[in-house]
């Protein structure tokens, strides 16, 4: 134990097991070693310990790492509170008394916070890479479906015609926002708390900027009390994971719907689907369903840490040990879900002509017809009312819009003439879009080109 001097009894075995975090904070071992190297170098540089002692500690830390990698040291086999105490205990075993000087001018509070920030930064880099790869996968599919017409929905009711490419590119935009959120998390985590001590700094003259620079931080924390009690960067990380998983869940839901017999729009590859133990004909979209289902645990991790933090007084409290396992689990779940989603998208088969005939004369062209009336100097609200009556008439007479004669249309407005028929052609509906950001094929193609340049796609 790192703290047993004032106690007359050993810690209860059950309490030690209950309180130990080593089962999950072992993920921080590489970072803990880096933090200790930085601190040892700083102590030697500032003359707080001798350079000989500093070098002995550094060599010992290298040996700890080698022994762990070689499988000669298993910190999980001992009775430790956390990975930090395990390292210090083993370091003492390897190099003796010099190990006892490593903890001068630091606390586990700033030590843990520093290593965790480093882990957050590395995991953010990995997630941004996965998000970019997924964007490229989506863009590849979109580029092949610029002319593939599908219904666009509001309230899960058919609204206006769009293209599959246009629909997919909406997710590229979502993923870019996810990347920006994670970049903000990176910037927030890029502040070094090492040297803050337990909460109030130290009486030694240290060089915190040296430690920060050695560890790759661009900034040093300004308030020691805040340094060890801040977990906003963890909450923002978990929130970014949660929103990212929500986006994947929405995509998964659409893939599930599109793969049904009723939609008959896509086929998922056999490699990412399963069958039924009872019904031989079944092909189930389990991969998409699991992505959709795993959102709950990632969202729960955010709620867990935010609930834990809400009532804590400054500065450090043992409750804050509960911040790491949710972060590790969220990273694992989200990163694996991104990889699986990319596999799903890259292996899809698209029924490109699924809606071509079905949407000819469809009521989804109603807004186009209202716009046509506006071009004939009919106020939009009046045009909206006229087309609404046209739709009601068509439903009552079991007709599509393109099956109505000009004579029938004129009963609703005298301005209808033969030119309105052009607006009832589903094949040209997308080309009529003029506003920036619309599903006009030329605009979608231009957006795909710009994204490919931005993401450096060959």
Domain ranges of the chain: 10-104, 109-350, 363-452
Question: Looking at residue 2, what is its pLDDT?
Answer: 55
Say if residue 112's pLDDT is above 50: yes
- Annotated catalytic, 394? no
pLDDT, one tens digit per residue, over 213-252 is 999 999 999 999 999 999 999 999 999 999 999 999 999 9
Question: Looking at residue 156, what is its pLDDT?
Answer: 95
Question: Looking at residue 20, what is its pLDDT?
Answer: 84
Question: Looking at residue 261, what is its pLDDT?
Answer: 95
**What percentage of residues in the chain have a pLDDT greater than 70?**
98
Say if residue 3's pLDDT is above 50: no
Question: Looking at residue 19, what is its pLDDT?
Answer: 78
CA distance 210 to 204: 15
Instruction: State the catalytic residue, choosing from 8, 77, 155, 277.
Output: 155
* Correct CATH for 109-350 of 3.40.50.300, 1.10.150.110, 1.20.200.10, 1.10.10.10: 1.20.200.10
Instruction: State the catalytic residue, choosing from 19, 276, 375, 419.
Output: 276
CA distance 244 to 127: 10
pLDDT bucket at 6, cuts 50 / 70 / 90: low
Model pTM score: 0.94
Under 8 Å CB-to-CB from 451, ≥6 apart: which residues?
135, 139, 169, 172, 457
Say if residue 453's pLDDT is above 50: yes
Question: Looking at residue 429, what is its pLDDT?
Answer: 92
pLDDT, one tens digit per residue, over 143-158 is 999 999 999 999 999 9
- Who wins on pLDDT, 76 or 164? 164
Question: Looking at residue 78, what is its pLDDT?
Answer: 76
Question: Looking at residue 9, what is its pLDDT?
Answer: 67
- Annotated catalytic, 276? yes
pLDDT, one tens digit per residue, over 311-367 is 999 999 999 999 999 999 999 999 999 999 999 999 999 999 999 899 999 999 999
Say if residue 8's pLDDT is above 80: no
CA distance 417 to 102: 88
pLDDT, one tens digit per residue, over 263-308 is 999 999 999 999 999 999 999 999 999 999 999 999 999 999 999 9
Cα torsion 30, 31, 34, 39: sign: negative
CA distance 82 to 150: 55
Average pLDDT, the chain: 95
Instruction: State the fold for domain 363-452.
Output: Ribonucleotide Reductase Protein R1; domain 1 (1.10.40)
Question: Looking at residue 248, what is its pLDDT?
Answer: 98
Same fold, 10-104 and 109-350: no
Q: What is the CATH number of domain 10-104?
A: 1.10.275.10
Q: Tell the residue number behind the tokens 């990698």, with chain if given.
A: 69
Q: Tell the residue number behind the tokens 């009532």, with chain if given.
A: 311
Mean predicted confidence (pLDDT) in 86-100? 96
Question: Looking at residue 4, what is its pLDDT?
Answer: 55
Mean predicted confidence (pLDDT) in 14-21? 79
């Amino acid at each position: 134990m790192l703290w047993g001097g004032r106690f007359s009894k050993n810690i209860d075995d059950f309490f030690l097991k209950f309180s130990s975090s080593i089962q999950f904070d072992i993920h921080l071992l590489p970072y803990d070693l880096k933090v200790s190297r930085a601190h040892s170098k700083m102590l030697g540089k500032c003359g707080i310990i001798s350079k000989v002692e500093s070098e002995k500690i550094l060599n010992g830390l290298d040996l700890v790492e080698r022994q762990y990698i070689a499988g000669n040291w298993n910190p999980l086999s001992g009775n430790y509170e956390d990975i930090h105490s395990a390292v210090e205990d083993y370091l003492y075993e390897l190099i003796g008394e010099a190990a006892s000087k490593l903890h001068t001018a630091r606390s586990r509070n700033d030590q843990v916070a520093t290593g965790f920030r480093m882990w957050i930064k590395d995991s953010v880099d990995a997630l941004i890479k996965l998000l970019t790869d997924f964007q490229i996968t989506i863009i590849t599919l979109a580029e092949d479906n610029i002319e593939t017409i599908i219904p666009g929905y509001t309230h899960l009711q058919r609204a206006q015609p769009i293209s599959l490419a246009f629909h997919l590119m909406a997710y590229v935009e979502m993923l870019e926002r996810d990347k920006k959120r994670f970049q903000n998390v990176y910037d927030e985590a890029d502040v070094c708390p090492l040297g803050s001590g337990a909460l109030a700094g130290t009486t030694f003259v240290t060089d915190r900027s040296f430690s920060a620079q050695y560890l790759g931080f661009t900034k040093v924390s300004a308030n020691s009390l805040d340094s060890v009690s801040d977990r906003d960067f963890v909450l923002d990380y978990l929130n970014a994971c949660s929103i990212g998983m929500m986006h994947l869940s929405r995509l998964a839901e659409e893939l599930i719907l599109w793969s049904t017999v009723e939609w008959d729009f896509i086929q998922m590859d056999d490699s990412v689907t399963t069958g039924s133990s009872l019904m031989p004909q079944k092909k189930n979209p389990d991969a998409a369903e699991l992505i959709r289902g795993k959102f709950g645990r990632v969202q729960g991790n955010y709620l867990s840490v935010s609930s834990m933090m809400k009532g804590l007084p400054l500065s450090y409290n043992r409750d804050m040990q509960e911040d790491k396992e949710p972060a590790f689990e969220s990273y694992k779940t989200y990163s694996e879900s991104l990889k699986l989603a990319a596999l799903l998208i890259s292996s899809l088969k698209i029924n490109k002509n699924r809606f071509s005939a079905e949407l000819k004369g469809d009521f989804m062209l109603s807004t186009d017809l209202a716009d046509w009336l506006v071009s004939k100097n009919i106020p939009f609200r009046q045009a909206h009312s006229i087309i609404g009556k046209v739709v009601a008439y068509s439903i009552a007479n079991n007709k599509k819009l393109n099956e109505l004669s000009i004579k029938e249309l004129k009963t609703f407005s005298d301005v209808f003439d033969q030119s309105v028929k052009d607006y009832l052609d589903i094949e040209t509906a997308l080309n009529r879009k003029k506003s920036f950001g619309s599903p006009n094929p030329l605009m979608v193609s231009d957006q795909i080109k710009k994204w490919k340049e931005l993401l450096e796609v060959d």
